[in-house]
Amino acid sequence: MATLPSDIFHASIGEINAKLKAKEFSCVELTRAFCDRLEKLGPRYNALALSMRQKALKKAKDVDGDIKIQRFRGPLQGVPFGAKDLLSVEGLPTAWGAKPYAGQTFKETATVLKKLDKTGAVLIGKLAMVELAGGPTYRFAAASSTGPGLNPWDTTLWSGGSSSGSGSAVAAGLATFALGSETSGSIITPAAFCGITGLRPTYGLVSRHGAMALSWTLDKIGPMARTAEDCALILAAIAGGDAKDQGSAGKSFYYAPQFQPPLTEVRVGFAETDFAEWPNPTAQPEFQKALEAVRALGLKLKPVKLPEFPYGPVISTVISAEAGAIFEELITSGRVDQLADAKQIAALKASLDIPAKDYLRAMRIRSLIQEAFRELFFEVDLLFAPARFGPANKAADPLDRGTGRPAPSTRGLAALIPASNLAGLPGISLPCGFAGNAPLGIQFVSRPFNENLLVHVGKAFQNATDWHRQRPRIDA
């Protein structure tokens, strides 16, 4: 049996695939090593919902058979990954992070997991999440049947929600990549907090069939990985139309770096206040360094600000109203009281009382937001801002605790996460430094179906910096 180098747990997709093709180790050996690590360290971060060792080793054996006869299926072949536990696997528990759904099984596997299976990628486990993907709201990181997601960089810190297990697993080297989901920040936030790369695709680009719904008109599934290029390779595999998802855009994604414009031609909108005034004081110097690193790429930076809309109330109304309809039986049966977070229980109960006129008004404002972004993207190609304005929260602290600092008078792009989700826009979070030992992230957002440009700029940023190569110290 081959001895695997320790750095394989933090290797990129391309590096692992190349080593498998060179037969430096077998896929079975690789998969067993990752399963051992996931099962041993996953509980340390409350990241593991379900180990899939048996199925994974069976798949790995098939991959070894393909490689033996030089049947190569692409860059994901043989690569171990994890999936957020809102994605169904036929016959296996899919609990959605919530006690009322413990032991729940489905007769069909989620479309994205079927697509990854065809590439030869190896699913080694279901990863923990905030219960019901955090909807409509929650107060504590412990809002999960598996406990609070803990950050591999510092286990007193939160790993971010709602894709908490996905963020922790990739950062700790428990999986090469993971699938997360975002309704309003659930890929971008844990990617930033855990020091990894996360790509939120355009609404409708990736099928959600077989995934728990929180908001029919907002939910998106996307990759969380080591690098921007890794995210592109994953997105190319999972994107595409699906008649079983009524929100499907019927479009595919092909990673095409050779067709992207020179960086000097890319127009990037940003706001100085987002880097000088909004950040936590401990993070502000690092965000300034990230801003200078972006300037050094030669991008055309242009001052902009978000159109004036009540983004928070609008997205809150949409999520609450749709979650109330989706989880009506959970609420009316009383099983909602089994959830772990009192604020979430109260919010779900209140969601049944939202008047139709409020939901329709929110959707009308949303259409105006989408039109405003279409106009903004005549001026720029990308929007650029901190992913979050500081490092991760303490895992034990209430998430609605204020910063204690007055908000700057200039709005900038501070509401970019809810705004871009309402508009269905793609975004990418990239590691950009540390506040103490806690990672920080920046985000780029673009017009719909412009993921290639996001990856192009993200890869250039990562080629010029080494923040994405940093690893948490883990005593196995």
Of 88, 162, 168, 181, the catalytic one is: 162
**Chain centroid to CA 41:** 21
Residues ≥6 apart with Cβ < 8 Å to 399: 138, 139, 140, 141, 158, 393
CA 70 – CA 215 distance, rounded (Å): 43
Q: In what order do the strands lie in the sheet with 197-200?
A: 48-51, 122-127, 80-84, 177-182, 220-225, 197-200, 427-435, 438-446, 382-386, 267-270, 300-303
Closest CA to 21 of 66, 87, 58: 66
Block residue for tokens 């994901």: 76
Phi and psi torsions of 385, nearest 5°: -165, 165
Of 59, 84, 220, 459, the catalytic one is: 84
Residue 162 is among the residues annotated as catalytic for this protein: yes
Phi and psi torsions of 193, nearest 5°: -65, -30
Residue 59 is among the residues annotated as catalytic for this protein: no
Hey, how many other C-beta atoms are within 10 angstroms of the C-beta on 158? Answer: 29
Phi and psi torsions of 394, nearest 5°: -65, 135
CA 421 – CA 461 distance, rounded (Å): 23
Residue 244 is among the residues annotated as catalytic for this protein: no
DSSP 44: G
Of 168, 186, 207, 420, the catalytic one is: 186
Q: Catalytic residues, which ones? A: 84, 162, 186
